[in-house]
């Protein structure tokens, strides 16, 4: 089971905070549950586990005023998950969770990344979070309401969700400061564009990509102090996982050969942190 036409699916997906309250039919629910449960590894090999969480009316009332959950209207079903602590755990979680979200979108459902001020305690209990695991984010899933709530519209405006950084601020040729020309990249430009329009915490878009011959090197440009309040959960590293997911799914759909490799280039990118490279040669 996989995502049909990831490029089209991602282009259609928008964050949804307002749901009409209708339950999912059994077939849709089981397809989503099966996909999420089979989604157990990211590019760096960390152990992931995801499941669907049904909240009772009492549980919704308990959580309604706590953290980010309070801005979600009409949702009773959530995708929640856990990743075992370890190097690149956040990136793997972001990668896996975005795959779940895109699969839900392909089924015609609405979703919304919830991290940051999310109160995780109730969801951690529901999924049986262990001491060696983290739950970086969750997502409601359901049928979008016909009209967004006022709160939904306000959050979308504050997050600048309809705006993204321009191409020349994100993608570079051989070195930072030398923008990659769209007309020079051919089909892989669709994969880069899918990265550009991807979701990120506070719409910061911390990913930077440098083309180096046939390889594409992914870097993280951190926002100073951004993850200070979230402790072990580093949302900008989760964002990098989302970027990796978008690029890989688009490359696979376009028939562009390659895989994730650790081939850190000798580039002067001192303010960026190297994450991984997409390349089509032996690692």
12/148 same-domain check: yes
| pLDDT higher than threshold 70 for residue 281 | no
Query: By percentage, how much of the chain surpasses pLDDT 90?
Result: 63
* Strand, helix or coil for residue 25: coil
19/140 same-domain check: yes
Mean pLDDT, the chain, as a whole number? 87
43/73 same-domain check: yes
Query: How many helices and strands, by DSSP H and E, does the chain display?
Result: 8, 10
Looking at residue 223, which CATH number applies to its domain?
A: 3.40.109.30
Which range of residues forms the domain containing residue 242? 167-279
* Number of domains the chain is built from: 2
Q: What is the pLDDT of residue 36?
A: 97
| pLDDT higher than threshold 90 for residue 71 | no
**Residues 6 or more apart in contact with residue 35 via CB below 8 angstroms:** 1, 100, 103
18/87 same-domain check: yes
Final residue belonging to a domain, choices 106, 127, 155 = 155
149/175 same-domain check: no
**Residues 6 or more apart in contact with residue 270 via CB below 8 angstroms:** none
Scan for tokens 């440098």, then name that residue: 210
Q: What is the pLDDT of residue 101?
A: 97
Give the separation between CA 200 and CA 207, rounded to whole angstroms.
Answer: 10
Give the separation between CA 174 and CA 217, rounded to whole angstroms.
Answer: 10
pLDDT tens string 172-218: 999 888 999 988 899 999 999 999 999 999 899 999 999 998 899 99
pLDDT tens string 37-57: 999 999 999 999 999 999 877
198/220 same-domain check: yes
Q: What is the pLDDT of residue 157?
A: 47
What's the whole-model pTM score? 0.91
Q: What is the pLDDT of residue 158?
A: 47
Query: Where is pLDDT greater, at 1 or 277?
Result: 277
Give the separation between CA 123 and CA 283, rounded to whole angstroms.
Answer: 39
Looking at residue 58, which CATH number applies to its domain?
A: 3.40.109.10
Alpha-carbon torsion 32, 6, 106, 165, what sign? positive
pLDDT tens string 151-175: 555 445 445 545 789 999 999 999 8
- 213: tokens are 């011959």
């Amino acid at each position: 089971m996989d995502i049909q036409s990831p490029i089209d699916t991602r282009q259609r997906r928008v964050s949804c905070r307002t749901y009409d309250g209708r339950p999912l039919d059994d077939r849709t629910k089981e397809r989503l549950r099966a996909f999420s449960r089979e989604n157990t590894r990211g590019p760096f090999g960390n152990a992931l586990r995801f499941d669907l969480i049904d909240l009772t009316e009492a549980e919704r009332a308990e959580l309604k005023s706590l953290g980010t959950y309070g801005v979600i209207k009409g949702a009773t079903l959530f995708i929640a998950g856990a990743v075992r602590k370890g190097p690149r755990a956040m990136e793997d979680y972001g990668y896996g969770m975005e795959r779940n979200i895109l699969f839900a979108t392909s089924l015609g459902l609405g979703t919304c990344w919830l991290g940051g001020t999310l109160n995780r305690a109730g969801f951690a209990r529901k999924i049986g979070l262990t001491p060696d695991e983290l739950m970086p984010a969750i997502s409601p899933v359901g049928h979008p309401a016909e009209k967004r709530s006022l709160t939904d519209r306000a959050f979308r405006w504050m997050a600048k969700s309809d705006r993204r950084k321009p191409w020349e601020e994100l993608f570079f040729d051989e070195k930072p400061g030398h923008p990659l020309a769209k007309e020079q990249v051919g089909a892989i430009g669709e994969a880069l564009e899918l990265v550009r329009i991807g979701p990120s915490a506070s719409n910061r878009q911390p990913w930077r990509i440098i083309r180096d011959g046939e390889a594409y090197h992914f870097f993280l440009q951190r926002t100073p102090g951004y993850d200070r309040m979230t402790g072990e959960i580093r949302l900008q590293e989760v964002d990098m996982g989302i970027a990796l997911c978008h690029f890989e799914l688009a490359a696979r759909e376009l028939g562009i050969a390659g895989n994730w490799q650790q081939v850190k280039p000798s580039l002067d990118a001192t303010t960026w942190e190297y994450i991984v490279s997409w390349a089509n040669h032996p690692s």
